[in-house]
Amino acid sequence: MHGRPRKPATEGDSLVVEAKIEKLRTLQKQLLHNHRNRIYTKDALEISSNLLEINPEVYTAWNYRKLAVESMIVDLKDDEELIKSLVTGELRIVELALRRNPKSYGAWHHRKWVLQRNILPADFHHEFRLLDGLLKLDSRNFHGWNYRRFVAALKNVSEEDELKFMTDKIEANFSNYSAWHNRSVLLSQMLKNKDRDSHVKENVLEEEFELVHQAIFTDPDDQSGWFYYLWLLDQTTSHSPSLISLWPTNGSNIILSNNVNTNDQISETISDYARLNGTLPIVLCFNQPVKGINSSTVSVQSSFTVNKYLTWKPLANGNTDEACYWMTCLKLPKRKSDVCTSYSVEVTLDHCHGGIVSSSYSELNGSYKFNFTLDIKYTDLEALDNNLFTEMFVWEDENSHKRITLAPEIICRTSLEQLQLTITPEPAEASKWCRETLSNEVSLFRELLSEMDCKIAKLTVARLLVVLDALPSNEQKKVHTEEVLKLYDDLMKSDHQHVRYYKDERSLVLIDQITCDKELLTRHCSRNTTFQNQVYLHLNSLSLSRIGFMERLLWVHMLDLSHNELNSIEGIEAMQLLCCLSLRGNRISSFTALGPLKLLPSLKALDLSYNEIGSHPIDTTRYLCESPLSHSTAKEVATNHWEAVLLFQDLQLIQLDITGNAIANQEFLTMLVKILPTLTWIDGTVVSH
């Protein structure tokens, strides 16, 4: 191990190993016999001790000892001396096991169990002495650090004393990752307790920045300090859950009509969604995953009859009760006259209810109220039959003569000004302190980069600048975007091992820049004249490997992401109005990566052509259970395109392009036609069902 050559085994060594194996088998057999027959005697306990001294990883032996100790304590009744001897013996056998393996989960858990029983007063002096010895042998033993937190809590050791102990360990060895981690665990609780006093929190964080700077500038290539530094930045910029985006937008006018006014610059038309579902979607977007979105925490009132107990569902793959995006659907009213009817809708989120929380149980920041109007210009839902897909949809290129660019004021109206709510602002002093702190950090690491070429420092400066640009400001444009993009370009050239990560981060910066600047966004938007002047967003040929900030694009009907480098579309599920999506010429390698499409009920036209689907073989040995779709084995289902079935059976596609993928043979296309009864065109050809 670690470059040391192994000594060839001799005949004597083999005999010793065989004898040890035989002894282990005998002890294990005796242990299981005693465990099965509930034999809790001193001799039986000694057998488990002998086994654990040789192999501390026999978890059954530790469980047996717990049952034996509890039984023997009952039998001993009030004989304190014998009980003390029994407990001391348990602590002794744990120490013997830890000498064999200082990172034995079972041994550490058993020692905690003994102390938690509180049978006798704990000898904290002995416990800390034991920990000191173990941490001297291996200062990175995270089991020892976890146990130290446990013992310190039992003894009520002050947080200041524990911080001093960790400071001594860190200053002795800046590379002690476990000490840094333990410090972050302790400080997380301290900062949570002091969160109401912003000045105290700021002072603590400033001292921590000074400490971690010593580590980073002593050895910039050591990662321990950098990891702690990232945690520290997160504490500096962390926010409570907030509502950052929604659809329909606040103050907007939603028109449901067969006839769309092409000159209407303010109203938003969603006739296709309504025709398909008979409902109106309401989408809420938060800055972090939250749970607790339901009819008791979100109130929806309208001038037409609304179900008081609306069902809110998270827009996320898999079974989860926590997500950044949440949606409910209002059942649209039926009308009998031809006269336009206008309805008002008001949605309220109130943090006073305390039900909307993040995974860390931080409550929603502030109260929110928004409203919109709904103009209905049809006699009933069945009459709302637009002509959106009576002909095959043809994706426009950048030079298409059909493309009509939107004026900046329209984009501003439909997306930026009303899409994002004003988040409850932080106190001016706190915001000022955060900005000054981050600016100082940027200056510090720019100075480091002027002296040496450090990849982690470059990455840190890029992250700092991104956070600085995201802070509340009077400036709408991202002032540091070009510098950040250049930093990621440099990192991709110098660090090939992490190119994919840098590309993903660069892609997010680019999308952030486009979607927050109305002038830039205007250049990428148009209305499609053939298909009812729907909003068409062009994000093609940008070398994107990841998408983000979809909460700013909830109003988009048609999205072109072609000719990028995407292998995932996570986040697109927020765009509930999306009816046309092009992923042509990307790097999608499986249908599983397209899971978010199942959450888009309006999706009608999908272009997956010229990706890598089918180029990478599926490891069928991973699927050991039978398929829920049939009685065939998992291997048979895998060869019969089970991924595609799981995806397309939930979609209502009218048009699909999949040519140019390895999987797109005639057998596969025939299967698609069977599981997609709504399909009219496939690869430009009319489908005959």
Question: Residue 106: what pLDDT?
Answer: 94
Q: Are 29 and 61 in contact (CB under 8 A)?
A: no
pLDDT tens for 118-156 read 877 888 999 999 998 888 888 888 899 999 999 999 999
What whole-number distance in Å separates Cα of residue 275 and Cα of residue 257?
10
Q: Is 124 helix (H, G, I), strand (E, B) or coil?
A: helix
Which stretches in the chain have pLDDT values below 50?
1-2, 262-267, 271, 385-387, 401-402, 408-426, 474, 619-639
Indicate the pTM of the whole model.
0.82
Q: How many CB atoms lie within 10 A of CB 547?
A: 21
Q: What is the CA radius of gyration of the chain?
A: 32
User: What SS3 string covers 179-235?
Assistant: HHHHHHHHHHHHHHHCCCCHHHHHHHHHHHHHHHHHHHHHCCCCHHHHHHHHHHHHH
Question: Residue 623: what pLDDT?
Answer: 45
* Among 321, 319, 297, 323, CA closest to 310: 297
What whole-number distance in Å separates Cα of residue 597 and Cα of residue 579?
11
Q: Is 125 helix (H, G, I), strand (E, B) or coil?
A: helix
Question: Residue 549: what pLDDT?
Answer: 94
CA angle 302, 336, 347 (to 5 degrees): 10
Give φ, ψ of 96 to 5 degrees: -65, -40
Record the tokens describing residue 181, joined without a space: 């981690």
pLDDT tens for 497-547 read 999 999 999 999 999 999 988 888 888 888 766 665 577 899 999 999 999
Question: Residue 64: what pLDDT?
Answer: 95
Q: How far is CA 154 from CA 58, 117, 122, 127, 131, in A?
A: 28, 12, 9, 11, 15
Record the tokens describing residue 474, joined without a space: 């009077």
Question: Residue 284: what pLDDT?
Answer: 94
